[in-house]
Each structure stands twice: as structure tokens, then as C-alpha cells.
Amino acid sequence: MRILLAAAAIAAAACSTSPAPSAPAPAPAELTAEFQQQFQRSATDWNRGDLDAFMSDYARDSLTSFVASGHLRFGYDRIRVGYASQFAPGARRDSLRFEEFHVRVLSPTLALVNARYILHRDGATSSSGPFTLVMERQADGWKILHDHTHSDPR
């Protein structure tokens, strides 16, 4: 009986210890620079009308979420459908850029990003606003797990 209790105690202790992270958490300044580069590429993808490249920053997952204009969408495919009309042939899409990046490292594989998007045409802003992203480092780079975008009042 004592052997069984000792084995159970050892098993419980082994289950309660968390595994060591596989890599140290990235430095906030380095990660901010990395995200600025990633989103500069994303803006370039948007501006040239490449929906697939633009969507490559989102996690291809049914739980990936997007909140905007009072609506919540779950799933990579539903998010893509929401953007698709803006990339249809002949669709008028304003130029995109991102500003004001603030990154909070949550763990070696998770980060919280706050920034602003700016849509502009002919030197005038047509839409802008803050957004918050939860990003996860995956095998193929940092991916958006959750995107909450808000438009500034007009």
C-alpha cells in the first residue's frame, strides 16, 4: 500500500510541474521590429490586391477570431470571406499602412500587439483605428489568433 501511495505522489508531482519553455521570450524591442516588418509586408500584400498573401498572417484555425463593426467571426475561412469582397476584381480598395506599434510579450510563443491601421487615398485618410492582436509563434512564423479592430469615429 505504501508503495502505491508513493507512486501516486510521484506521478502527481510529475503531472503538476510545467515543462520548461523551449526558447526564451523574445525581447520586446526585437519583437516590435519583427512585427513592424511583418505588417509592412502585410500592407504591401493588401495594396497589391493579394488576399492569400494578406491572409497568411492569420492562423489557419477554426478558432481564429476577428471582431470588427460589432461582429464576431470565428475561423480562418470566415475571416477570409469577410475580406474577399475588398479583393474582388474591380473592387476599390484604399492603400493600407500601420502605425503606433506596442508589443507586450506574454510568453516565448505569445504576444499582444496594439497598433493603428490607416486606409488612405489621394493623401486623405478614408478610415483608421486601433486594433489589438493576440499573436502566436508557430512553425511558419507569428500568426494572428485574435484580431479586434475598431474604426475611429468619422
Q: What is the pLDDT of residue 1?
A: 43
The three-state (H, E, C) secondary structure of the chain, written as one string? CHHHHHHHHHHHHHHHCCCCCCCCCCCHHHHHHHHHHHHHHHHHHHHCCCHHHHHCCECCCCCCEEEECCEEEECHHHHHHHHHHHHCCCCCCCEEEEEEEEEEEEECCEEEEEEEEEEEECCEEEEEEEEEEEEEEECCEEEEEEEEECCCCC
| Count of Cβ atoms closer than 10 Å to residue 116 Cβ | 16
Q: What is the pLDDT of residue 9?
A: 42
Going from the N-terminus, what domains does the chain have, and what CATH number goes with each?
A: 25-149 (3.10.450.50)
pLDDT in tens, the chain (154 residues): 444 334 444 444 444 444 445 678 888 899 999 999 999 999 999 999 999 999 999 999 999 999 998 899 999 999 999 999 999 988 889 999 999 999 999 999 999 999 999 999 988 999 999 999 999 999 999 999 999 999 998 7
Question: pTM for this one?
Answer: 0.82
